[in-house]
Amino acid sequence: MDLGSNLRARARVCLQQQEDEEMLVPHQELTEGPQPMEAETVSASENQQVEDPPTLKYRWTIENFSRLNTKKLYSDIFHVVGYKWRVLIFPKGNNVDHLSLYLDVADSATLPYGWSRYAQFSLAVVNQIHGKYTIRKDTQHQFNGRESDWGFTSFMSLSELYDPSRGYLVNDTFVIEAEVTVRKVVDYWSYDSKKETGYVGLKNQGATCYMNSLLQTLYHIPYFRKAVYHMPTTENDMPSGSIPLALQSLFYKLQYSDNSVATKELTKSFGWDTYDSFMQHDVQELNRVLCEKLEDKMKGTVVEGTIQHLFEGHHMNYIECINVDYKSTRKESFYDLQLDVKGCRDVYASFDKYVEVERLEGDNKYQAENHGLQDAKKGVLFIDFPPVLQLQLKRFEYDFMRDTMVKINDRYEFPLQLDLDKDNGKYLSPDADRRVRNLYTLHSVLVHSGGVHGGHYYAFIRPTLSHLWFKFDDEKVTKEDAKKALEEQYGGEEELPQTNPGLNNTTFKFTKYSNAYMLVYIRESDKEKIMCDVDEKDIAEHLRIRLKKEQEEKEHKKKEKAEAHLYTIIKVARNEDLMEQIGKEIFFDLVDHDKVRAFRIQKQLPFNHFKEEVFKEFGIPVQFQRFWLWAKRQNHTYRPNRPLTPQEETQSVGQLREVSNKTHNAELKLFLEVEIGPDLHFLPPPLKTKEEILLFFKLYDPEKEDLKFVGRLFVKSLGKPTEVFSKLIEMAEFPPNEEIDLYEEIKFEPTVMCEHIDKRISFKSSQLEDGDIICYQKSLTSTNRNQFRYPDVPSFLEYVRNRQVVFFRALEKPKEEDFSLELSKLFTYDDVVERVARQLGVDDPSKIRLSSHNCYSQQPKPQPIKYRGVDHLVDMLVHYNQTSDILYYEILDIPLPELQGLKTLKVAFHHAIKEEVVIHIIRLPKNSTVADVINDLKTKVELSRPDAEVRLLEVFYHKIYKIFPPGEKIENINDQYWTLRAEEIPEEEKSLGLHDRLIHVYHFTRDSNQNQMQVQNFGEPFFLVIKEGETLTDIKIRIQKKLQVPDDEFSKWKFAFISLGRPEYLQDSDIVSNRFQRRDIYGAWEQYLGLEHSDTAPKKAYTTNQNRHTFEKPVKIYN
């Protein structure tokens, strides 16, 4: 989820800075601030509601949706309690391949300064065929002048949206719903979890609430926490490189800290980069991976076996023959159990289903050893349950009919006490130890709020198994009653209260999107052992010392911050700093003040006392110190301005800071002038008169391309540069009669200004004053100037200001660095591609195509840079407010300007006789037609006969959606989401009789675990001519011949008439044409002849072009 138009300060920073808070990202366009990030929807209960809030539901119907040519579109304005709102949509995505959807404050431009309003809202894309597949996402936001819109950049994939069979786009009509609740809130930031509950929360790194809810659950299992504390670590370990130490550190802070705890060290120990922290993953997957990793780390230590002891149970898989004495069993272990939610009213019903006996008979008989095929029963029974029972509720499942994941929000009850010995131990195997009482009490409920495409996780936990429940929601911990933790997390539907109870109103029900996702139970007989005491003696001494030191440092910083108003930071720059930095770390101005010695001095201390501190630090006696104040000039340079007067040195440090610093920050910047004689002894500072100015000198060597600081001089303002030439030549160690040229370094922002100094006029006439910088070099003749890349100071400084090392990667290998080039930010488009072509040995630079880098996703931007589409290199590298140093290249087979004038289509040609599919890239002018594509294709393929006719089809998810008319323009044909298939038109289709029908034939299969009515298509769809009165037997003969399927395999195939995804199986004697009589159907894909058989064919490479949904990355812990 990502959210608003101009990021607030906390979301304006780079990803790696997002340690301490969840990053919620506003709607951004290419020209406005950082790229939106996919984060998570947040819980609606983060703010305390003060009164019943007003709510409004708005429905927006958009016709001719696929023909919209605008980048973004606003709905009409609607009102909620006098506030004006509207929906903002990006039909083709906001620089992503997903639909982008936001809620916008319609009158934000005219509202008074400082306005804000808080709203909880949901946005939905309505499924017009199956309402239950409507995609809904909800969140909340404090809208204001900088964040007047908020929503989801990656709401749903465009491939799903534009697939007509999915039901989101019907008759080119698109429907959006918005439900907006305007709320009043109390201050969230003033809430103190530790004070209110005794517990602290975990900070969200971006999309890590799923991890936070799991970590809190594990932490509140004391036996687990104690085992983590006892894992061997040493004082030399670093938390970011050691999972045990990072987890110990995290648990210690949860136990003893007063504030919410960051998880950055832990995720670093997992080997995660920042991007991993912004990927929302699955709690169950993380739980398994983390436990496996800890189990491995515990091997060979005093806590080896803890994970197994706590969480491991065993069940027995059995197959028992009915008619012969044969039984096969297999013992398996589990750390958690996945329980079905769909079709089950509660946990017991799920366990009943888990141990349900399956009959193996008929075609599905069991091959028993030495007994052949036998009728049998198959099932699972439990040998033992673990002390801590983790139940994963299957709230998400794959819907084969829709080819998508869906969330099951059905009501599902779970008890406070769970008795797994019920009904005389019906869940237990004969080998189970009946002496163990499997009575469990509920410890924690992990909740998912939201839909399949995103949501928020939090946990309800009973830390001591008392009647007290607490809600752990990222940083916030609150006391909750048992009803909220149990009944309100059952899911299902909830009725809205009637507005007029006396009238016979129709009740309105809505689905509850917050429901339990994982349950943790603790066995009563193990409760005392599991819920043990954990105190400081369980924590290794080195860990206590380390963490206490960290805490002390934190307290020290906090104290410093609290006392900051009593102190001034004095930063002292010396000649040594200028020598060290100029030409290495900096080239412009004189010094980086963040890298000089800083003193923290009490404001009331007299400045003369501070000079004693300087003596202690640098060994320079007080009488030889003279300090200069720095000043920021109008041209944004920073130079020593004037020395402190004797009177000023008698003042306090605080008074002096106020004199010098108009910005009122806590810093005082000084330059320490020290004079050293020929014998290297300190000298008193020379008398400074108004006629003298202090200048700083840098020396440039064009041969070495080197700039360095060589010293400073007092010069007479009315004197001429020639009067100090001998001194400058000596400082440069040049021969005595060397000619030199002088330049004044004036400024470097936004462009470099460095001007030649006329040596014949006075310093004053050249407008030089205290603190100015003069760069000088040997004089060059017009002949020897050509020997150097940057012959003079201005050209060198221009080069330094704009130089940029760019790392190039081949587009097809976006993670692998190929080569780097040092370029100038001022290089034109032509300059850049010419250098790249030269590097790659390509004769024609116009055959180089470049793509920019997305700083947030760390991937190439989807749209390449157009030919001369940017002016300079810097435009290629800027990504919102970030600057990248990566570009991607492609080597084209034709020049880019020519390619841009063409439409490129990827066409899969299916040969009429041979079993082969060949991909052809067709390039034609954009105003060409489908007929032109076919004619071009005919020159590239082998036809079965010279006069064969060819057609172009649109295929998506193994169904045919369209036969392209020959006259259709190709400019709007999209082969990114659909597969374009070309094939010869069979002769039988050219001469259809009056009663002949051309029907769609698709392959399908059903998963045995899925509902009988759900089908999954695969393979190559095709057309078939059926004649009136033709039976299925007749048609089967033709299909077998067409597909060349062997008899033994074909005999297993089943045939069905399928309408709206529901199969009706056909008998051999059925008249097939009777089924295909409707002509008012929504689309050809709604009715087809289905061929049911197993999908054994290898996947063809070209199907990758269908851009099936990309799912979230799997959880990985690398260390």
Distance CA 32, CA 1109 (A): 29
Retrieve residue 512's tokens.
Answer: 């509850």
Find the catalytic residue in 98, 209, 453, 879: 209
According to DSSP, residue 117 is labeled: E
Name the one residue in this structure whose structure tokens are 């078939």.
1024
Distance CA 748, CA 891 (A): 37
Q: Which amino acid is at 310?
A: L
Task: Give me the phi and psi of 328, to 5 degrees please.
Answer: -115, 130
Distance CA 1034, CA 1028 (A): 12
In order, the DSSP letters of 964-1000 are --TT-BSTT--TTTSEEEEEEPPHHHHT--TT-EEEE
Query: Is residue 456 annotated as part of the catalytic site, yes or no?
Result: yes
Find the catalytic residue in 448, 456, 879, 1093: 456
C-alpha triplet 694, 700, 702: angle, nearest 5°: 165
Bridge partners, residue 188, by sequence: none
According to DSSP, residue 496 is labeled: P
Retrieve residue 582's tokens.
Answer: 């100029």
Distance CA 1117, CA 241 (A): 12
What would you report as the CA-atom Rg of the chain, rounded to the nearest whole angstrom?
Answer: 38
C-alpha triplet 803, 804, 809: angle, nearest 5°: 155
Name the one residue in this structure whose structure tokens are 């003969």.
1037
Name the one residue in this structure whose structure tokens are 């008169």.
689
* 438, 388 Cβ separation under 8 angstroms: no
Query: Is residue 775 annotated as part of the catalytic site, yes or no?
Result: no
Retrieve residue 843's tokens.
Answer: 């004769």
Distance CA 82, CA 119 (A): 13
* 410, 342 Cβ separation under 8 angstroms: yes
Pick from 425, 349, 433, 441: nearest CA to 388:
441
Bridge partners, residue 712, by sequence: 696
Dihedral over alpha carbons 436, 437, 441, 445 (to 10 degrees): 50
According to DSSP, residue 645 is labeled: P
Name the one residue in this structure whose structure tokens are 């097809």.
812
- Bin 243: left if φ > 0, else alpha if -120 < ψ < 50, else beta: alpha
In order, the DSSP letters of 858-872 are TEE-SSPPPTT-SSB
Dihedral sign, Cα of residue 455, residue 458, residue 459, residue 460: negative
Element (H, E) at 109: none
Distance CA 1037, CA 16 (A): 64
Distance CA 1015, CA 337 (A): 28
**Which residues, at least 6 apart from 68, have a Cβ–Cβ distance to it below 8 Å?**
62, 91
- Bin 396: left if φ > 0, else alpha if -120 < ψ < 50, else beta: beta
Distance CA 901, CA 751 (A): 37
Bridge partners, residue 508, by sequence: none
Pick from 777, 802, 804: nearest CA to 702:
777
Distance CA 705, CA 777 (A): 11
Retrieve residue 215's tokens.
Answer: 């970590």
* 788, 713 Cβ separation under 8 angstroms: no
State the burial class of residue 972 (Cβ atoms within 10 Å of its Cβ: 0-12, 13-18, 19+): exposed
Residues annotated as part of the active site: 209, 456
